[in-house]
Structure 1
Amino acid sequence: MKHSTVPTRAAAVAVGLALLTTLSACSGGDDPRPTTSPSASASSSASSSKPVSCKDGTAVVDQDGATVRLDGSCTSLEIHASNTQVTAGRDLERIAVSGDLNYVRAAKVDTVSFDAESEGNRIVTPSSPETDDQGRTNIVGPAPEGH
């Protein structure tokens, strides 16, 4: 008898999203003030939020499990990683995601894109960005009530 892995995978993604949302809601340490750093890519541990500066206005997060905040010069964000948490203390023109289970919080976003391999990502913003979702189970929208 052949078993389908779709329900099992969907359940795993749902559990991962619930855990990611719960953990990010408990952190409370996000500092929206602009900061600077000499690197354009994320190099941090998951235990504390590290600043990421932007080369030519673009922040690149390419380390799995990173917890970062964008500095004041960023206008766009590219994520090439999984299980990251990013706080943007400013408006962004563009967010492009390639990876799984990433969590981004931004004041305002104009456009969001997820590549075909992206799954279970969440972009939290009160704005309604133009979204190109080639992946699966990605969410763009406001934070759940109370978060």
Structure 2
Amino acid sequence: EAEVEAGSLTKALDYVNQVRRRAALSEHWVKNPDGTDAANYNISEYVAADFASQDAARTAVRFERKLELSGEGHRFFDLVRWGVAAEELNAYLAYEGQYLVTKFGGATFTAGKNELMPIPQAQIDIQGSDVLAQNPGY
């Protein structure tokens, strides 16, 4: 990601392909109890044309990051850092909201508020409001 933002697209391509080559090693794949592959894995490397522009490279790197770090708790913070959290999360909530339990149905991500989390009131009380102020919107 840093290489893309710095304009080093060739280096970014190499780094992404290193991850892809590791992912393509069958010993890392999820297996069924009988030892067969649990899915039809088709992992190939990117070619230079896939990284021809900074926007194309950024799209590829962000997609790879989503795959590589899925389930590890990075996605929300990536979306916030990239400035696309409201767009991505509201699209997800609009589609999935019809299938979510009532408590979550109709939920939305509020830009300018939900990028930050509330500071626990107990911490503000301990530190004092002159030292620690609550994040906007909470």
TM-score of the pair, normalised by structure 2: 0.25
Greater helix content: 2
Of Structure 1 and Structure 2, the greater strand share is in 1
Pair member with larger Rg: 2
